[in-house]
Structure 1
């Protein structure tokens, strides 16, 4: 597998490192590691100490934690071009969640020492990092409000729209994604059986179609209408 160059990376202009100089990117490139993860493989574990941060080059990742009842709750979906593990690194605290590959995933790893040196020496990168933290915090607060206020049917519609907005690079009319019902129920925050029941309703209404683990969104407009009923 070819190690992508930081200076020519397709995500350079939209990543946390967009305000790095060419020399800084060359230095990161010389000192990073390029890792490949199989579907279902853990990238980092909840409760472990962070050794660095990860830049997803290809694939899909879920960030999840276990509740007091032992059930998994997906708190974030990560796509290619996104950065992982920076919050715990900044806080110098243990990971509060785990990152798991939803399909075969490639990611670059930058050590804590290299990242901290960059933050200390580049004010623009440090500022971009603060904005990223603020956005993630806001998204998390919105999700908690929706989980508390919306019924399951509305939350499922919103979860399907979230999958589309996160992973539909081509902005296609009909978007398909393979995702287990367990993972989908963890995003929605309900039992797998409940997700299966409402998916069947959406299928009967012509909103989605399913084939095995694959879900195809046929009517995103209807999902938006359903998800907004309690807004």
Structure 2
């Protein structure tokens, strides 16, 4: 079921897939030439917050969480990136260290593009700078919206929003007619919502009793997306 007209998903998703799509052939070929592909197991670190930014990463397969860790060791997941998205480019463009960490949440294939090669291609490109500026502007809107939600919404509403967003991410790799299975740990879900794991378990149980979702092990299947959107308080249903 599409969310069009029901939920403003564009307010919650970055659009970095569009950075490399339909690039001029010579520019895409140059980027591809410098890609160094690597396989990652579930839970592997790609880069750490505060590390020197050595390049950008293109997710060819899998999903990656971007997160920050506070002084008490608590993790806050900022965003989950899908296949086709770029990560790590903020630090490269700002010539700063990575502002967050990135780790896989499932087995992934990720291509690394060294900083010098990416910057050289961007400097002679007529397309990449404009696209990056547009993407960064949209990401600012997404992050501002997320900050507003954390300040004004209840844990239950934030969980509903997070499940809706994750459903769209896992939908991309689900064959037509098959159930969309959200495969994420309860700990990661809690770190996305900004609450304790016990709250996540309690509200998932409540949603399950209401017929909104089913769950098996770590996998969650949304059965009544309209009702979940109502709980989120952000939709048009």
2:148 and 2:129 map into 1 onto residues whose CA distance is 29
- 5 Å-filtered alignment, 1:50-61, equals 50-61=53-64
Going from structure 1 to structure 2, the CA distance change for 1:180 and 1:139 (only over 3 Å counts) comes to same
Going from structure 1 to structure 2, the CA distance change for 1:88 and 1:220 (only over 3 Å counts) comes to same
Q: Is the 1:154–1:226 contact (alpha carbons within 8 Å) kept by the matching residues of 2?
A: yes
How big is each residue's C-alpha offset from its partner over 1:176-202, in whole Å with a ceiling of 9 and x where there is no partner? 121110000011110000010000000
How big is each residue's C-alpha offset from its partner over 1:128-184, in whole Å with a ceiling of 9 and x where there is no partner? 001111111111111110011001111111110010122211576842121110000
Shift of the alpha carbon at 1:19? 5.2
Which ranges of structure 1 fall in alignment gaps of 5 or more residues? 1-13
Of 122, 125, 129, which aligns to 1:126?
A: 129
Q: Is the 2:31–2:121 contact (alpha carbons within 8 Å) kept by the matching residues of 1?
A: no
How big is each residue's C-alpha offset from its partner over 1:46-94, in whole Å with a ceiling of 9 and x where there is no partner? 1101111111110011101012442111101100011100001101111
Q: Which residue number corresponds to residue 46 of structure 2?
A: 43
The answer as to 2:211 corresponding to 1:206 is: yes
Q: Which segment is superposed worse, 47-56 or 166-175?
A: 166-175
Of 187, 193, 196, which aligns to 1:188?
A: 193
Q: What is the aligned-residue RMSD (CA, Å)?
A: 1.8
Q: Is the 2:170–2:181 contact (alpha carbons within 8 Å) kept by the matching residues of 1?
A: no
Which ranges of structure 2 fall in alignment gaps of 5 or more residues? 1-16
Q: Which residue number corresponds to residue 175 of structure 1?
A: 180
Q: Which residue number corresponds to residue 25 of structure 1?
A: 28
Q: Which segment is superposed worse, 221-230 or 47-56?
A: 221-230
Of 99, 103, 107, which aligns to 1:100?
A: 103
Of 124, 131, 141, which aligns to 1:138?
A: 141
Report the 3-state secondary structure (helix = DSSP H, G, I; strand = E; otherwise coil) of the residue aligned with 1:46. coil
2:216 and 2:23 map into 1 onto residues whose CA distance is 44
Q: Is the 2:170–2:180 contact (alpha carbons within 8 Å) kept by the matching residues of 1?
A: no
Shift of the alpha carbon at 1:112? 0.6
Aligned residues: 218
Q: Is the 1:175–1:218 contact (alpha carbons within 8 Å) kept by the matching residues of 2?
A: no
> Structure 1 length as normaliser, TM-score?
0.89
